[in-house]
Amino acid sequence: MRKYRALQLAMVMAGLSACGGGDGAKTGSPPPTALQACTGLQDKVIAASRSSLPTQGAYIVSARLVAGSEESKTGEYCEVLGAIKSVDAAAPNIHFQVNLPSDWNGKGLQFGGGGYNGSIPNTLAKAPLGSNTAPVPLALGYMTFASDSGHQAPDADDASFALNDEALLNYGYMHIKKTRDVASVVAEMRYGSSPRRMYFAGGSTGGREALTAAQRFPDAYDGVISNYPTANFLGLRLWGAALARAVYDDESEGWIPPAMVNAIASTALAACDALDGVADGLVSNMAACRQRAPALLDALRCKSGETGHPDNCLTDVQIEKTIAVYHDGYTIPYSFANGIRAYAGYNSLEGVTMQLGSQAAYIEPPQSGPNAHHASRADQFVKYFVARDPAFSLLSFDIQNPGAYQDRIVSLSGTIGATSPDYSAFKARGGKILWVQGLDDPSVSPYANAALYESVVAKYGKGATDDFVRFYLVPGLAHGNGKFVPAWENLAILDAWVEKGEPPPAAPIAFDNNTATKNRSRPLCVYPMWPKFDGTGDVNLAASFSCSE
C-alpha cells in the first residue's frame, strides 16, 4: 500500500510539472485537449502537506467534462468530485466539488453552505443575491467550488455530527480553508497555476463562513460576499433556546396561534408601510415604525374579561415572555467571545411574521413547522454542541444560568462565529466585503448584524471602514426570500473593487426577484440609510427613491 501511495504521489508531481507546457513544450507535442486535461485528474491524490490545516490528504473520485449548452448556461467545464481525509478515523471526510471552466479567467469563487450544512451547495448557480441578467460565475470563467463542511446529512437541521471534535471544528471554520487549499491544487493540476484572485460568497451559514474566511484566513481571500450571516452563531442559538422556554413553559402558555401571529404582522404593516413615503408593502423607515411598537401592543393586549382568543388579543404572558424575547432579544450575565453579552431581537412588531409553529404542543425533539423553527435549531445545538447528550432536554436549559455548560458555551462562541471586529490583516492586503442583511429577516436578527458592523466602525472609524466594507440593511428582504429579494451585480462590483480599486456605487440598484413584482427596483442604501420615496415618479423604479436617514 505504501508503494502504491508513493506511486500515486509521483504521478501527481509529474502531472504538475507537465501542466502549462512542461515536457509537451520541450518535445513539441500538442497540449492536452480539455477532455484529456479533465479526465487526467481522475484518481489523483493530493498530499496532506498541500493543506495549511491538518488533514490526511485528499483524493479525486471523479473528473468529467461537461459540455456547455444553452440550457445549462455554464459553458464547458470539468466537474471534479473528491474528498479530504480526516485526521481522526472516526470523523467524516470533507466532500468537495470543483468546477474548472475550459475558458478560465484565473479567479476562484468558493460557495458557502446553509444551516448545519451536510451537503455540497449548488456551485453552478449565480452568487447568492447576484445578478439575474449576467451569466453565472462559472460561465464568466470563474473556477467555482464548495464542500459539505465535513459531514454528510440529508437534513440541514441535523447537528449530530458535532459529537465529533474534528467534525465540529471543520463546521466551525476549518473546512473553509481546507477546501480552498485543495481547490487551488486542483487548479494547478488543470491549468498549471493557482487562482490569482479568490472570492467567497454565501448566505446564512454561508454568510458566516464568508466573514470567517476574511477574519481567519485573510491571506487566502481577496473579497467576500456575506448575505444575512449567522455571524453571532452562539447568540442566535441561545436566542432560540430562550424562545423555546418562553413559548413552551407552563404547558405552552406563551404560544401564539398562527391567526394571531398573522394579525400582528398585518396590523404592523398597515401602520408602518407609508412611513417611507409610499405604501408599497415594504417597511423602509423601520426606526419610525419601531417607535410605534408599544402602542401596537397596547391595542392588541387582552382587555378585562378576554382570555386570548386565537385571533382576538394577546395575553400578558404572550406579551411579556414570547413577544419580549422575539422583539427585544436578551442580555446575559456572562460574555461570549469578543465581549458580546446580548443578542438583539427582530422586527416582529413591524410587519415581520414570527415563526412560532402551527401547534401549541411541544414535540420531543422539537420539529420546525409544528414547533417554532428556532426551537428546533436550538435543540440540535444544545444537544450536540453544548451538552453532547442526544437525550438532553432543551426545556431544561436556562441561557441566563447555564451552570456547568457556561464555559463550554463561551468556548464555542470563539470556535463558531464571526464576531471579531478585527479585519486588520484582510484590510491591509486590500480585501473587500459586501455585506447584506434583510430588515424582514425572521431567522437572523438584523440588529445583531448591525451591531457587529458598528463594532468594526468603532475599531477603524467610518472612513477607514468604508475603504473595505459596505453594509446594507435591505427593506423587505427576509432570509433569502421575502417581500423584496434583491438581485444585483454583487460579484462584478466586488471584483472591480478588488481588481481596479473601484468602490461600489453610492447606492447600487437592485431588482426584485419575486415573480409578482419581478424587476421593480430599489437603491441599496448603505447603513444606516434607507430608501425614501421622492414623492413623484414610478414607485417601481429605483430612480424615484433617495437614500435617507
Catalytic residues: 204, 441, 479
- Euclidean distance between CA atoms 441 and 334, whole angstroms: 27
The SS3 assignment for 198 reads strand
Cell of 49: 502537506
Nearest to 204 by CA among 149, 242, 285, 153: 149
Nearest to 215 by CA among 480, 49, 452, 410: 452
Cβ-Cβ contacts under 8 Å for 112 (sequence gap 6 or more):
121, 128, 146, 200, 201, 202, 203, 205, 206, 207, 208, 209, 210
Burial class (CB within 10 angstroms; exposed 0-12, middle 13-18, buried 19+) of 356: buried
Task: With residue 545 as reference, give the H or E element that holds it.
Answer: strand 545-548
Pairing of β 94-101 and β 143-147: antiparallel
CB atoms within 10 A of CB 210: 32
Task: Please state the φ and ψ torsions of residue 226, each to the nearest 5 degrees.
Answer: -120, 115
The SS3 assignment for 259 reads helix
Q: How far is CA 316 from CA 209, 292, 349, in A?
A: 40, 19, 16
Beta-bridge partner residues of 96: 82, 147
- Euclidean distance between CA atoms 22 and 167, whole angstroms: 39
- Euclidean distance between CA atoms 380 and 99, whole angstroms: 33
Long-range contacts of 362-371 (CB under 8 A, 24+ apart): 362/248, 362/252, 362/395, 364/393, 365/394, 366/244, 366/394, 368/157, 371/248
Nearest to 37 by CA among 22, 51, 53: 22
Beta-bridge partner residues of 294: none
Question: Helices in 192-313 by DSSP H: which ranges?
Answer: 205-216, 233-252, 258-272, 286-290, 293-300
Under 8 Å between Cβ of 173 and 416: yes
Nearest to 418 by CA among 451, 374, 440, 385: 451
Nearest to 94 by CA among 184, 171, 199, 209: 171
Nearest to 326 by CA among 261, 399, 408, 403: 261
Cell of 481: 426570500
Cell of 397: 436549559
